[in-house]
Amino acid sequence: MKQAGIFRVVVVLLSGMARLHSADIVAWGANESGQTTLPPGLTNVVALAAGGAHTLALDGDGHVIAWGWNDYGQTNGPEAVSNVVAIAAGDYHSLALTGDGQVLAWGAGTTNDSWPNRGQSVIPVGLSNAVAIAAAGVQSMALTADGRVFQWGYYSDGEFSNPVALPARLSNVVAIAAGTFHSLPKDG
């Protein structure tokens, strides 16, 4: 029997991984591209990401399920990959992070020649050992285990360098978030 409510969960992890299973997924809002129409058989979802008009889900087996608007291939994810641990979605592209720290990207942005292709799906040289990803608009971000931030794609002020030149006061970034027109690194 499913029970609704607000619950507090404390997980003490001595070794290995812990997996929490959630209740049903509910989607609402604009649905012109099918982004709120959940695919049949969608189960064991451990993470969700919403793009401009497409949606990503990550199942407990590390597979990415994508649906909605697909004019730029943003829902044509890596089918053969089964060790995905995190997902992120921009307006026209999608990202996945594998358990071995590799970042995968697909959709618009494989070139940097015209809108919405602004390089947001071109993984920067030297990016490895990633522990977190973020995407929004036509930009992508990754955080590495040693606290470096990589950011690529387009921002209203132009292209980013890789890795991003962070303010001097940030020395050990532990979390990142991407907005369409801004970025948020959190220092540790």
Tokens 């990503």 correspond to what residue? Answer: 56
pTM of the predicted protein model: 0.82
- Structural domains of the chain in order of their starting residue, each with its CATH number: 45-187 (2.130.10.30)
pLDDT in tens, 67-117: 999 999 999 987 777 799 999 999 999 999 999 999 999 999 887 777 788
Grouping H, G, I as helix, E, B as strand and the rest as coil, residue 177 is strand
Q: Report d(CA 133, CA 90) in Å as an integer.
A: 11
